[in-house]
C-alpha cells in the first residue's frame, strides 16, 4: 500500500492511514537496525539531497544514516542564513543543485512553507525536516513511535507538550498527528509561549507544571531555545526552571508513571534536571534510535512509489 502523497510536507495534511503506514513500516526498519549488517539495498540508484538551510546536527545525521542504510546516494548541502543576503536566490540555489538530478530532497529551512515552495518548481519528492515554526513531521512521527513502543497505542492517552509552543515546529506536528491518532493532547508553558488560538487545534492549556505532570501519561518536553525569541517570553532561565522545569521531585510527588520525551538537545538544568534527563522516566535515547528507523520508513515509502 503506497502513501497518498509523493511528499511529506507536514502532518496537518497527512491522512491518518499514512501516519499508521509509516509507523508500521518503521517497525521493520527498527529490526534492521538491530542486525549486525544494518544496510538494505532498497534505494540503490536513488539520490537523496539533504538540503539544510538551518543548522542541525541530529536530524541531519539521522537522515543521512537512514539514507545510507537504504543504500541511497547521499549529497549534502548546508547553508545557514537567508540566501537573500548572500546574493543568490533560494530558487537559483536549489535549481542549481537539482540540475544534478536528485530523486528525494530532505529540506530544513527557517521559513515556514519552504517545502511547499519546493514542490512548485522541482519534480523531486520532498521531505520536510523542519520549516520555521511550522512543522517537523519526522520528529513527531519518531516521538509517537517511541511512545507506542513503550506504552502502546497513543489512542486515548494523555500527552502534554511542554515549553515554547509558539516557536515550536515539533509541537505543531505532534499536535496534528496525535489528534488524528486519537490522543488527548495538551500543552504546558507560560502564556507568552503559547501561539494565539492554540485551543482551536483541540488542545488543553496548562500553566501549572505539577498539574500537567499529575494529569498526563506522557510529557514531551521541548528545548527552551535561547537562540530564538525565548528571551522575551520568559524573565530568565532561573524563573523558567523554578516554575516550569521538570525534576525528579516533581515527578515523584505527582506521577511516577509519567513518560518523558525530549527532542534534544537538552538544556540540562533548565527544562529538565539531570536526574530526569538520565533517570528512569525518560526515553530520550530511544527516540534518537527510533528516529533513524522512522526516517528509513518514510524514505522507503516515498522512494519506492511513483
DSSP 222: P
The rounded distance, in Å, linking the Cα atoms of 163 and 260 is: 13
Site size with other proteins, rule: CB under 8 A: 28
The rounded distance, in Å, linking the Cα atoms of 139 and 59 is: 8
Q: Binding to other proteins by residue 195, rule CB under 8 A? A: yes
Site string for other proteins, 70-89 (x = CB under 8 A): ------------xxx----x
Could you tell me the sign of the dihedral formed by the alpha carbons of 56, 95, 7, 135, in that order?
A: positive
Task: Provide the minimum distance between the beta carbon of 98 and other proteins in the complex, in angstroms, as a whole number.
Answer: 16
* Shorter beta-carbon distance to other proteins: residue 134 or 250: 134
Instruction: Tell me which residues in 87-146 interact with other proteins (CB under 8 A).
Output: 89-91, 109-114, 116-117, 131-135
Are 25 and 297 contacting, i.e. CB atoms less than 8 angstroms apart?
yes
* Shorter beta-carbon distance to other proteins: residue 64 or 135: 135
Task: Provide the minimum distance between the beta carbon of 171 and other proteins in the complex, in angstroms, as a whole number.
Answer: 10
Instruction: Tell me which residues in 240-279 interact with other proteins (CB under 8 A).
Output: none
Selected binder of other proteins within 45, 191, 196, 265 (CB under 8 A): 196
Are 173 and 9 contacting, i.e. CB atoms less than 8 angstroms apart?
no
Task: Provide the minimum distance between the beta carbon of 110 and other proteins in the complex, in angstroms, as a whole number.
Answer: 7
Strands laid side by side in the 204-206 sheet: 204-206, 184-188, 158-162, 218-221, 259-261
* Shorter beta-carbon distance to other proteins: residue 152 or 202: 202
Selected binder of other proteins within 35, 41, 45, 197 (CB under 8 A): 197
Residue 221, strand partner residues: 162
The rounded distance, in Å, linking the Cα atoms of 189 and 222 is: 10
DSSP 255: -
- Residues 80, 83, 84, 85, Cα dihedral to 10°: 50
Task: Provide the minimum distance between the beta carbon of 126 and other proteins in the complex, in angstroms, as a whole number.
Answer: 13
Residue pointed to by grid coordinates 537523496: 48
* Shorter beta-carbon distance to other proteins: residue 200 or 227: 200
Q: Binding to other proteins by residue 191, rule CB under 8 A? A: no
Q: Binding to other proteins by residue 5, rule CB under 8 A? A: no
Q: Binding to other proteins by residue 172, rule CB under 8 A? A: yes
Task: Provide the minimum distance between the beta carbon of 294 and other proteins in the complex, in angstroms, as a whole number.
Answer: 21
Site string for other proteins, 12-31 (x = CB under 8 A): x-------------------
Provide the CA 34 distance to its chain's centre, in angstroms. Answer: 23
- Number of helices and strands (H, E) in the chain? 13, 9
DSSP 109: E
Q: Where on the chain is the footprint of other proteins (CB under 8 A)?
A: 12, 82-84, 89-91, 109-114, 116-117, 131-135, 169, 172, 195-198, 200-201
Amino acid at each position: 500500500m503506497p502513501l497518498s502523497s509523493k511528499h511529506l510536507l507536514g502532518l496537518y495534511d497527512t491522512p491518518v492511514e499514512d501516519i499508521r503506514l509509516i509507523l508500521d513500516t518503521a517497525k521493520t526498519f527498527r529490526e534492521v537496525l538491530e542486525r549486525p549488517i544494518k544496510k538494505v539495498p532498497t534505494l540503490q540508484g536513488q539520490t537523496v539531497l539533504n538540503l539544510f538551510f538551518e543548522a542541525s546536527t541530529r536530524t541531519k545525521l539521522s537522515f543521512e544514516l537512514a539514507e545510507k542504510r537504504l543504500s541511497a546516494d547521499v549529497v549534502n548541502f548546508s547553508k545557514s542564513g537567508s540566501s537573500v543576503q548572500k546574493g543568490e536566490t533560494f530558487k537559483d540555489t536549489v535549481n542549481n543543485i537539482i540540475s544534478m538530478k536528485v530523486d528525494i530532497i530532505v529540506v530544513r529551512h527557517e521559513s515556514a512553507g519552504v517545502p511547499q515552495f519546493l514542490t512548485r518548481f522541482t519534480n523531486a519528492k520532498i521531505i520536510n525536516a523542519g520549516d520555521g515554526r511550522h512543522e517537523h513531521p519526522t520528529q513527531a512521527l519518531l516521538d509517537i513511535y517511541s511512545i507506542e513502543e513503550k506504552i502502546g497505542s497513543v489512542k486515548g492517552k494523555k500527552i502534554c507538550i511542554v515549553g515554547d509552543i509558539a516557536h515550536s515546529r515539533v509541537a505543531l506536528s505532534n499536535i496534528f498527528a496525535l489528534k488524528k491518532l486519537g490522543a488527548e493532547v495538551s500543552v504546558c508553558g507560560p502564556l507568552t509561549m503559547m501561539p494565539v488560538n492554540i485551543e482551536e487545534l483541540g488542545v488543553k492549556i496548562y500553566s501549572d507544571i505539577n498539574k500537567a505532570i499529575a494529569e498526563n501519561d506522557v510529557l514531551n518536553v521541548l528545548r527552551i531555545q535561547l537562540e530564538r525569541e525565548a528571551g522575551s517570553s520568559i524573565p530568565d532561565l532561573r524563573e523558567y526552571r523554578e516554575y516550569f522545569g521538570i525534576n525528579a521531585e516533581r515527578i515523584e510527588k505527582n506521577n511516577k508513571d509519567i513518560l518523558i520525551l525530549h527532542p534534544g538537545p537538552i538544556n540540562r538544568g533548565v527544562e529538565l534536571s539531570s536526574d530526569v534527563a538520565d533517570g528512569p522516566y525518560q526515553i530520550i535515547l530511544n527516540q534518537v534510535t527510533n528516529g533513524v528507523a522512522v526516517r528509513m520508513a518514510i524514505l522507503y515509502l516515498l522512494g519506492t512509489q511513483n
